[in-house]
Structure 1
Amino acid sequence: MRPPARLQAAIEVLDGVLAAARDGGAAADSILQAYLRSRRFIGAKDRAAIRDLVWAAIRHSGERPVSGRAALLGYLLASAPEALSSFDGSDHAPHPVEEGEPQTPATAAPAWLLPVLEARFGNDLPQALAALSARAPLDIRVNRLTGMTRAQVAARLPCAAEPVHVAGLTLADALRLPAGTRLEGHPLRKTGAIEVQDAGSQAVVELAGARPGMAVVDLCAGAGGKSLALASALGGAGRILATDTDRSRLAALAPRARRAGALGMIETRLLDPGREATQLADWAGQADVVLIDAPCSGTGTWRRNPELRWRLTPFRLERLWALQARLLRLGAALVRPGGRLIYAVCSVLDSEGPDIIRAWHRETGIAPARTLALSPHIHGCDGFFIATFEMPC
């Protein structure tokens, strides 16, 4: 595959990512994988080159570009202008660059969001944006249910791995590997001994305080990453109800739970939006722990999912606030007297974290026992806001 063909392939992928960002479609990595899967003639080196071009162009711009071509041109002009000679209009190549055509400038965040981020980070804004734009390391969690220790796992990994500490929390099962480490197909992953999970997410589960024998609800379980971590914390003794309104994401949990040795501990329940309280009536006031990993802007995960910057709008953010407040009320009703409620968002926006909790306090009189705001530039993990509540007896 010639370099011009690689550029054209990257443009086509970027056009797909932009369409998905506009219409609420699949994530960028899924679009890229589907593109390459449908073109099996593309060799390994070409695939890697296309992948690098796509992600570099996405990271280049916080604003949604007008086209995949504009995104790639902006990145190349800033970082590799010599590549523009490959826009030559030959077979499978991009057509030549025209004078005045759109070229996306380098930005770290959408312009409308910058004042909000400045209010959050103050003088640390440049460092915070740099960290949110950088490539993330690879964090994994050792699954206690397989009987392997962290030291045993570290000895079998393909590169050096370090323990992880976050904001004074000791994450006993966490290991950090260099950015770009690939574990697809590794025996430890195939056998369920490890799960890829950011240290911030592991901190959420640590603060949940799940212990053997407890009954736990993971209210927004998605594909079940935190449900599996909770099962590991329960040590095989206890039960977990994992719920979500997204059928496809929740369906991914069962095979993961089977591989991790947690299938018998986890019940999944698909919920209908607006009817969740009725469908969870049997758990009302019964759970020792309820975890609400609420849908959010995902601003804390930009380093892993930089195309999320292209999806976020003020209108979508307002809709998320209403959903987050509703989920807090729903989750609180499931906690037994004296139990624990955990609210978490992978966001660095105050409006999705402290502001939601202050409104909840005004509404219920229940103050958080602890809050924790995590930022990549300080804590080295994804951005999170976490609040824990000890519910009154």
Structure 2
Amino acid sequence: MTPAARVQAAIDILDAVIAAAARQGASADRIAAEWFRARRFVGSKDRRAIRELAWNAIRACGEAPASGRAAMLRLAAEDSVLAALFDGSTYGPAPITPGEPAAAGGIAPRWLEEALLASGLDAGEQGALLGRAPLDLRANRLKTTREELAARLPVAAERTVAPDALRLPAGTAAESWPEFAQGLFEVQDTGSQLACAALAVQPGEGVIDLCAGAGGKTLALAAALENRGHLLACDIDRPRLSRLPERAARAGAIAETRLLDPDREAAMLADWAGRADAVLIDAPCSGTGTWRRNPEARWRLSPNAIARYAATQARLLRVAADLVRPGGRLTYIVCSLLDAEGADGVAAFLAERQDWRSDLPTMPAGRARGAGWRLTPAHDGTDGFFFSTLRRL
């Protein structure tokens, strides 16, 4: 493909991403994958270049742009080489007309920038949310150690502050390696690993992963348990939860799964009421801490959506609390940096439930935020997380 044709291809993908964000449709990753799948003639070098153009344009636009062309013009306004590719050539974009509007810049929609600022994130912290994320691995303790894994990998890896974590450059195709097929590691951000570690599970305990999804954190809990005890992974999403057994088999992890009905979680977990030693709540959230990986996600949010997430999170905290035995604990996690989904929600729970107290140890990265702990890309080099460990009296 010519450079101009790559630009037009990126514009086409951007148009689809913008439309999907407006209707809460498919993710940008899925849209790009489907676009390339339908055009198998596009080579790997062209795919990388097109994707980079599209993602750079997504990161450059604070508000959702009017069109893919407007988003690309935002980049072209500061890149004369890119602007010259709007030349009207075959398969390329039409020439830029005098006064043609480009999309507005910024970190996020204005209301969201203000909400992040009110949650303690200044302009520098907000800007880092749109950087490039590295690829972190979690060495699977059930099969290896971090040192043994590092010695086996085909590329050099950096140790991070999480005890089982190795860091590789962004875009590393680690899941194609034989070590992945052998279950020696999982792809998991260092921040996510630290959030799991905050629950401090011990072999022999009864543990519930209340919002397990496809089981990334479940597998980390299984490794910490050394497969000794009882680990129950729950979710309301059948397709996601159905992926866990295969992943667990590869990792050599033992975990029971249980599909729950929305709003009936407590009834469907009645056999665990007051019995669990520990419960992990990786609650549904806005994902403001994961924009490095999903930058278009900020175009999908609204104040009403944040309020709905906060209500769901409060309900799940109450459900989890009733599962924990006296003296037991829970860790509440969101990959959001908004206080409405983090510190504020935990404070409201503690005010409501006098039989609970905060019990979070100091972590090797991050900073205290209310009755919890916060990790950010700018300060810690991880995805953005808030988590809080609470103990039942």
Could you say which residue in structure 2 is the equivalent of 1:119? 118
Could you say which residue in structure 1 is the equivalent of 2:208? 217
Q: For the Cα contact (< 8 Å) 1:66–1:102, is it kept in 2?
A: no
Could you say which residue in structure 2 is the equivalent of 1:382? 383
* SS in structure 2 at match of 1:172: coil
* Aligned counterparts of 2:15 and 2:241: Cα–Cα separation in 1: 28
Shift of 1:82: 2.1
Shift of 1:336: 1.7
1:134 aligns with 2:131: yes
Could you say which residue in structure 2 is the equivalent of 1:53? 53
Could you say which residue in structure 2 is the equivalent of 1:207? 198
Does the C-alpha gap of structure 1 residues 103 and 228 become closer, same or farther in structure 2, counting only changes over 3 Å?
same
1:296 aligns with 2:285: yes
* SS in structure 2 at match of 1:213: coil
Which 10-residue stretch deviates more, 44-53 or 11-20?
Answer: 11-20
* SS in structure 2 at match of 1:39: coil
Q: For the Cα contact (< 8 Å) 2:160–2:190, is it kept in 1?
A: yes
Q: For the Cα contact (< 8 Å) 1:4–1:87, is it kept in 2?
A: yes
For 1:342-380, what per-residue CA distance to the aligned partner results, in whole angstroms no more than 9, with x for missing partners?
Answer: 111111111111100111111112231222111221122
Shift of 1:107: 1.0
Amino acid at match of 2:132: R
Amino acid at match of 1:391: R
Shift of 1:70: 1.4
> After TM superposition, which residue ranges in structure 1, 4 or more long, deviate above 6 angstroms?
none
* Aligned counterparts of 1:45 and 1:241: Cα–Cα separation in 2: 44
* 1:1-393 pair list within 5 angstroms: 1-78=1-78, 80-121=79-120, 125-146=122-143, 148-165=144-161, 171-262=162-253, 265-365=254-354, 366-370=356-360, 371-392=372-393
* Aligned counterparts of 1:282 and 1:137: Cα–Cα separation in 2: 41
* Aligned counterparts of 2:22 and 2:151: Cα–Cα separation in 1: 44
Does the C-alpha gap of structure 1 residues 157 and 336 become closer, same or farther in structure 2, counting only changes over 3 Å?
same
* Aligned counterparts of 1:214 and 1:354: Cα–Cα separation in 2: 28
Shift of 1:22: 1.7
Shift of 1:98: 3.0
Shift of 1:199: 0.8
* Aligned counterparts of 1:258 and 1:20: Cα–Cα separation in 2: 35
Does the C-alpha gap of structure 1 residues 102 and 271 become closer, same or farther in structure 2, counting only changes over 3 Å?
farther
* SS in structure 2 at match of 1:145: coil
RMSD: 1.6
* Aligned counterparts of 1:248 and 1:314: Cα–Cα separation in 2: 28
Amino acid at match of 1:313: S
* Aligned counterparts of 1:235 and 1:49: Cα–Cα separation in 2: 43
Amino acid at match of 1:206: A
* Aligned counterparts of 1:67 and 1:241: Cα–Cα separation in 2: 45
Amino acid at match of 1:94: P
* Aligned counterparts of 1:12 and 1:270: Cα–Cα separation in 2: 39
Q: For the Cα contact (< 8 Å) 2:357–2:392, is it kept in 1?
A: no
* Aligned counterparts of 1:250 and 1:54: Cα–Cα separation in 2: 31
Aligned residues: 381
Which 10-residue stretch deviates more, 312-321 or 179-188?
Answer: 179-188
Does the C-alpha gap of structure 1 residues 267 and 23 become closer, same or farther in structure 2, counting only changes over 3 Å?
farther
* SS in structure 2 at match of 1:277: helix
Shift of 1:178: 2.6
Amino acid at match of 1:236: N
* Aligned counterparts of 1:189 and 1:101: Cα–Cα separation in 2: 49
User: Structure 1, unaligned stretches of length 5 or more?
Assistant: 166-170
Q: For the Cα contact (< 8 Å) 2:62–2:104, is it kept in 1?
A: no
